[in-house]
Chains A and B, each alone.
Chain A
Amino acid sequence: MKRRDFLKLAGAASLAGCATVTPAKARVVVVGGGYGGATAAKYIRLWDPAIDVVLVERDAQFISCPMSNLVLGGFTGMQDISRGYDGLRQRGVQVLRDEVTAIDAAKRSVRLASGSDLAYERLVVSPGVDFLFDEVEGYSAAMQSGNVLHAWKAGEQTTALRRRLESMADGGVYILSIPTAPYRCPPGPYERVSMVAAYFKQAKPRSKVLVLDANPDVTSKGPLFKRAWEDLYKGIIEYRGNVKVVAVQPGAVRTDFDTIRGDVLNVVPPHRAADIAAKSGLITTNNRWCDVDWRTMESKAVKGVHVLGDATLSAAGMPKSGSMANNHAKIAAAAIVELLNGRTPQPVKIINTCYSFVAEKEAIRVSSVHEWDGSTLQPVKGAGGVSAARSEAEATYAWNWARTIWADSLT
């Protein structure tokens, strides 16, 4: 119907003497320049250069969470996992270093921390996650005094955690506490302990890695991780399932039953869609996640706002990953271009691929394909799976994935 109206309009315009019909320019504002937001900004410009795109990002640089565990192992540097926003500027995206503090969906405008308002036709919100620090007693104070780190957003905490591992004496204990799923990057914690164990094995072999997992078992690529730990890090990594950390104190974490001593405390608190989603009414489920229409990524709560990435209420079998956020962005970009040109969006089939390093030069992988089933995105049965075994080939493809997706999202 809309499409027919648009064609009618187009016909009328050409009768009136216009040789070409250019759709009216519209402005899309994108909140957040991570895997989701950067990709959305780029692909809207790529698929319809007549649309103005403004990306609002509070940091000067993109720092990738994927591959940041290699920094903890000492196998790559922060500069290797950081990228600038000039590539998007060259695509005609206006990149503002600022922060969106409020969304007025009725007026279709956002408020910036710098004070001004920005109007939009369509808004993309790709804010990532914020932590529920209050769910772990003593966390905020311990974090401020440097006694606990999450390093679950790549950046200063990644560097700080690496320094703590370096300064820890041989024979020390590193504790990683994993929150109950869903959390950002399901295999990320297991990759992290592999990287820390690889470093200990090399540099301080009497040290231990203690994994306290609130989940009953390894949540992603379980057999592959456990095989690597058995083969490579026996006697270094100890894994305990169903152990939920409820409090932190200097030099120890507490569960409901025990106090467990550690020299480096890496407690990842539970998280939810980031604050801007919470205060804009975008959170729909369990006070944590944002439900969306998977044909368009449009919020089920707020019209005209498309939510991407880790902030979404994940569809079945869909991890909170960089690959997924990049693919969410392409669904949103395709839908927004269709809508702003008076056409009806079509569902888009998407792919997830997540690599995890288990040693400096060996990796494992999980993949899936997701398609619209009439009401949501579902994994395609019979497609996807995990690596046959850890390998150097997977590690080569992992670095290819990283460099290529950074370019796909940011240049």
Chain B
Amino acid sequence: MATPGTDVRGHTAVTDLDLYERMLLIRRAEERLIVACTDGSLPGGVHLYIGEEAVAVGACAVMTDDDFVTSTHRGHGHFLAKGGDLDAMFAEIWGRATGICKGMGGSMHVADVSKGILGANGIVGAGFAIATGAAWGAKLAGQGRVATCFFGDGAANQGSFMESMNVSAAWDLPTVFVCEDNGVSEFTVTSTVSGGPLVERARAFMPATVVDGNDVHAVRDAVGEAVERARAGGGPSYVEATTYRIRGHLEAEQHMLGGGTYRTDDDIAAWQADDKDPIARLATRLLAEGTCPREDLDATEASPPADPELAHTIMFGPA
């Protein structure tokens, strides 16, 4: 399926090339952060989203600036997918006064309230309740807005996950719970600390589905259905997107792990292959379907994004 995505109110048309460009923007921005982390120019640590771009980009494709999202400590992707400004995000990560939060928050707290981005959050699972409260506000305002909570499989073991699903279901709130199941809870394999499938927890309260989180169309369609239901007063939904975290919990984590590991290089390599990587998969599909010419994809790749100022930011960091 390669039809242009639109948000359900038809405010913006999100084309496949838009999806591709936005995923690539996130990827290239974070690759720049790897360099910055390595050369020691960043004040603090960064948690990278590489490999999970299809979740944020697919989900945010069906939202407008009026919709709320809560993000995680791994929040650059959500910020950029929801329309946050790259320059302002980079300036924030470099601790500059020109940053989106004036340099007071840093990587783990990028927020742009004008775009409905209620912030990345350093507390795992904090977004459940904040999104639920924002969804309540959205319902009271009666304008069809929704609040989407991005969270990981690690956060799903916080008690507030159940509590927030409970309130959202009891009060028919327009909350969309998007679980980014990347298989790891910081430095611990989630299956070793979780009882039962996560999706079954959600099914007790609301419609719940599992999708291929590295297929941007699958995410967009599943979240689109959830958002549409929420806007129409149908209450909350849960979408679990299966994906994988290519980088560590945080950059340069190997220095903290004393030589220990929690997964193998083969695991990582398998998810980096073209048949798994969300960006390569979209490119392959668009070329195979003939819906997007090679030149367009190449042009995007050569200068992500098309805007030369943003490209400059990615190359050199904030001005």
Partners in one complex: no
Q: Which residues of A are in contact with B by a Cβ distance under 8 Å? A: none
